[in-house]
Amino acid sequence: MTESAVRRVVLVGFMGAGKTSVGRALAAQLGWRFFDLDHEIVSRSGRSIRDWFSDPGESAFRREEASVAQELLSEDEIVLATGGGWATERGRLSRLDASTLSVWLEVDAEESLRRVGRDVTERPLMSRDMGVQTARGLLESRRTAYALASLRVDTNGKSVEDVTSHIIEILELSVVKTEPQ
């Protein structure tokens, strides 16, 4: 009997969706390695996200983000928490192969701002006094891209544990066992 199953999970969604917290918990439960894309970029380059955005600029950051993610997504048994902009590039989620489960952690603008709070240091697209309307505008402009993920999980009002166990249930169901022809 051969087993065709998910070998990696990539978490996408807006800032404050809980990608890092859920990703870490999910990886621990699966016994897989966890990578946070922003963290990888910062530790490899020695440059903070805020510095990337100011010089060399957001386009250079996006290129680095694309290349580091591509490298990490060639590994097996990993959970990758992406930054909120990674999935918004055209074709990015639709190009993932069947062994990669993409999960959109959905959060509304109010909850995103509440969760991020004043912790905007490494989020140059947010500011301490960012209003709900501005956050909602950015989120809405990205919704169609996030919606291309294979799975959508509403995180509003849910704990990291709730969201993680929901994804684990789906993963258990997605293990398809097939007899060789």
For residues 27 and 78, the answer to whether their CB atoms sit within 8 Å is yes
**113 bridge partner residues:** none
**Is residue 92 near ligand S3P by the rule CB under 6 A?**
no
Please report how close the Cβ of residue 173 comes to ligand S3P at its closest, in angstroms: 27
Give the residue from 179, 171, 181 showing the smallest Cα distance to 5: 171
Tell me the C-alpha distance between 142 and 96, whole Å.
18
For residues 162 and 140, the answer to whether their CB atoms sit within 8 Å is no
For residues 174 and 124, the answer to whether their CB atoms sit within 8 Å is no
Structural tokens at position 169:
């249930």
Identify which of residues 38 and 106 has a Cβ nearer to ligand S3P in the complex.
38
Identify which of residues 119 and 154 has a Cβ nearer to ligand S3P in the complex.
119
User: Mask 148-167, x = binds ligand S3P (CB under 6 A)?
Assistant: --------------------
The secondary element (H helix, E strand) that includes residue 179 is: none
Identify which of residues 85 and 96 has a Cβ nearer to ligand S3P in the complex.
85
By CB under 6 A, name the one of 11, 26, 85, 167 that touches ligand S3P. Answer: 85
CA 137 to mean position of chain CA atoms: 19
For residues 77 and 35, the answer to whether their CB atoms sit within 8 Å is no
Identify which of residues 66 and 125 has a Cβ nearer to ligand S3P in the complex.
125
Closest residue to ligand S3P, based on beta-carbon distance: 83
By CB under 6 A, name the one of 11, 15, 105, 171 that touches ligand S3P. Answer: 15
User: Please, is 39 exposed, middle or buried when counting C-beta atoms within 10 Å of its C-beta (0-12, 13-18, 19+)?
Assistant: middle
**Is residue 130 near ligand S3P by the rule CB under 6 A?**
no
Identify which of residues 128 and 175 has a Cβ nearer to ligand S3P in the complex.
128
**Is residue 84 near ligand S3P by the rule CB under 6 A?**
yes
Identify which of residues 49 and 113 has a Cβ nearer to ligand S3P in the complex.
49
By CB under 6 A, name the one of 72, 125, 148, 151 that touches ligand S3P. Answer: 125
Tell me which residues touch ligand S3P (CB under 6 A).
15, 19, 38, 49, 83-85, 123-125
